[in-house]
Amino acid sequence: MTGVFVALGSNLDDPEKQLDRALDALSKLPGSRLRAISPRYWSPPWGDPDQPEFLNAVASLETSLKPLELLRLMQQIEDRQGRQRAEDRRWGPRPIDLDLLLYGEQTIRQAQLEVPHARMCERAFVLKPLADLAPQVEVPGRGRVEELLADLDCSAMRRAAKPDPTTEPTR
């Protein structure tokens, strides 16, 4: 089993419910076990400011799925929840967005998948919930999550009011 981290984000069609549905689907992936869920955070949109704010979280899983198979199943979850990939608006609004951030300690560079996620170290809305779960985790070639987060401004983020049932953090 390999430890993986998946970022979740939504800003359409009741983001709380969208994250709940996606987490439920992730918990049912074959050969996988959902280990922990970060707190949720509201944050401004990244890359395309003309849209509603996002609700973000990170999930920790253990999986026996290979990286591309995991990615394919994550994209199926997105499709089932109404995700439409607009060519003209890459970072536009969406009911759900799932990004594979880390796959164990592996570095993967393929046309369909880049791990660690290419822009994760630029995004407070990814690193803040990831740091809640695993501040000491090393992002291959970049540094520890808590150190990377220290370089980002989290002031526009706010923790969601709804308490989340998290399991023990991964350290």
The answer to the question of residue 171 being in a domain is no
What pTM did the predictor assign? 0.90
Give the 3-state secondary structure of residue 21.
helix
Contact 130, 5 (CB under 8 A): yes
CATH number at residue 93: 3.30.70.560
The answer to the question of residue 167 being in a domain is no
Q: Is 99 a catalytic residue?
A: yes
Q: By residue range, what is the domain housing residue 77? A: 2-159
What is d(CA 117, CA 122) in angstroms, rounded to the nearest whole number? 10
Contact 145, 128 (CB under 8 A): no
Q: Percent of the chain, pLDDT > 90?
A: 80
pLDDT confidence tier of residue 36, bands split at 50, 70 and 90: very high
Of these residues, 97, 119, 142, 171, which one is catalytic? 97
Element housing 63 (H / E): strand 54-63
Query: Which tens digit of pLDDT belongs to each residue from 108-134?
Result: 999 899 999 988 999 999 999 999 999
Q: Is 119 a catalytic residue?
A: no
pLDDT of residue 84: 74
What is d(CA 159, CA 56) in angstroms, rounded to the nearest whole number? 9
Number of domains in the chain: 1
75 pLDDT above the threshold of 90? yes
The answer to the question of residue 52 being in a domain is yes
Q: Token pair for residue 116? A: 């660690």
Of these residues, 94, 142, 158, 159, which one is catalytic? 94
The answer to the question of residue 104 being in a domain is yes
The answer to the question of residue 17 being in a domain is yes
The answer to the question of residue 132 being in a domain is yes
Q: Is 97 a catalytic residue?
A: yes
The answer to the question of residue 164 being in a domain is no
pLDDT of residue 88: 59
What is d(CA 105, CA 14) in angstroms, rounded to the nearest whole number? 34
The answer to the question of residue 28 being in a domain is yes
Of these residues, 21, 35, 99, 123, which one is catalytic? 99
Bridging pattern class, strands 32-37 and 54-63: antiparallel
